[in-house]
Amino acid sequence: VKKGVESAGYGSKVEIYQVPETFQEKDPEQMPEHQKPNIPFIVTEKLAEADGFLFGIPARFGQFPTQFKKFLDSSSQLLGKKSLNNKFGGIFFSMDTQPSGQASTITNNGAISKKEKEVAQFQGKKFAELVTAYVKGRQE
C-alpha cells in the first residue's frame, strides 16, 4: 500500500505506525512477536494531522484485535473536536493463518500472492490520488 501511495507521484508523505499493545509489560523481551521495535506507536493526535489514513488490520477470528478497538475508542476526543472532519480513511486486512476468519473479511486466500500485492499498491495509489485531489481543491 505504501508503494502505491508513493507511486502516485504527488509527493504524498507516508508514515507507518503500529497501534500500542494493551499489555503493561515494559521489558522488550516480553514484546509480542508481531510488534515491530523499529516502528513507532501511533497516538490519536496523528490522525488529526493527516489528510488521510489507511489502517492495515490483522483479523483474529474474524474480528479486528482489541488493541485496535482501544485505539479507535481513544479517538473519540478528536470526533468531539471535529478534528477528523474532511479526512479520508480506508482499511485493508491480513491474516497469518488459513482459517483465521477470512470468510468474514472477504479474503479467503493463503499467503500474499503477487495479485494481492498489486491490489494493495493499486489501493494505495488510488487513495493518494483521491486525497490529493481533495486537498488541492480545498486549497484553491
**Residue 63: band (very low, low, confident or very high) from pLDDT cuts 50, 70, 90:** confident
Which amino acid, 9? G
What is the reported pLDDT for 48?
94
**What's the mean per-residue pLDDT of the chain?**
81
Q: With pLDDT > 90 as the criterion, what percentage of the chain qualifies?
A: 40
Q: Which CATH architecture has domain 11-111?
A: 3-Layer(aba) Sandwich (3.40)
pTM: 0.71
Where in the chain are the domains? 11-111
CA–CA gap between residue 108 and residue 12 (Å, rounded): 31
